Amino acid sequence: MQQARICKGCWEQMHVPVPLRGVISAPFRAFGIRPSRMNPNTCTICELMFTKVMRARKITIDATIMFADLRGYTSLSQSQSPDAVSGLLDAFYDECANAIWEHDGLLNKTIGDAVMAVFNFPLHREEHARNAVLAARQIQTSWRERRATLVEAHGLTADQLGIGIGIHSGELSFGEFGHSHRDLTAIGTVVNTASRAQSVAEADQILVTRAVFERVQPDMKDSQSKAFQLKGFDAPVELYLA
């Protein structure tokens, strides 16, 4: 992934050129301003000074949420050594991060064997739903290539190392939540739906909601759909293969 020399978030939102790399970035690093771990093309101002920059603890935005989960992790953690499990997770996180960042997403959370990404903040992109789908497809493609080496190294089979992905778009709350421990993240039905879609996705599968399906046209015009009874939802939810 090509790394930006100035923070894309600060430039796009405030037109302030905050250097991320090179000699000129040294004075900024002295004040704790450095590339964000959520997206190295943005900086810690975007990540840690949300309240000051946005003048609010939280805002309502239109965004896309993606959850990706490494299937079989629980059973693998019982049969593999701690070093092997750690190596598998590192590989999984690396492939997810590279794809998310390449499509201007924010790797918001790593939750055990899963990751949560936000598209359309702090980098605003009109086609954020499409970016999320492209990132998901890149994750699956890259992982299939890397998986061949991993299964051979650890004596596994390909179906033990699949990734299930769920994506949903819509209005959600994004900001700093909590007081004693502040967490910069997204909450709301959009997040819950993406998470539930991921939970029913099979290994090597990407499932998206109708909201994503409609925004990504014509790229998904031939996608098949199926109604799923997702946990916590009264009515079945239609999900499309991406």
CB neighbour list of residue 58: distance below 8 Å, 6 or more residues apart? 173, 174, 175, 176, 177
In angstroms, rounded to a whole number, what is the distance separating the alpha carbons of residues 161 and 8?
Answer: 34
Task: Give the pLDDT score at 53.
Answer: 61
What is the pTM assigned to this prediction? 0.90
Q: CA torsion sign, 77 to 96 to 40 to 107?
A: negative
Tell me what the mean pLDDT of segment 1-15 comes to.
85
Per mean pLDDT, which range of 59-68, 78-87, 138-147, 204-213 is the poorest?
78-87
In angstroms, rounded to a whole number, what is the distance separating the alpha carbons of residues 206 and 204?
Answer: 7
**How far does CA 215 lie from the centroid of its chain?**
18
Share of the chain above pLDDT 90, in %: 57
In angstroms, rounded to a whole number, what is the distance separating the alpha carbons of residues 117 and 101?
Answer: 10
Strand partners, 177: 183
Q: Look at residue 19 and tell me whether its pLDDT is greater than 90.
A: yes
* Mean pLDDT rounded to a whole number for the chain: 88
Task: Give the pLDDT score at 221.
Answer: 86
The burial class, CB within 10 Å (0-12 / 13-18 / 19+), for 146 is middle
The burial class, CB within 10 Å (0-12 / 13-18 / 19+), for 135 is buried
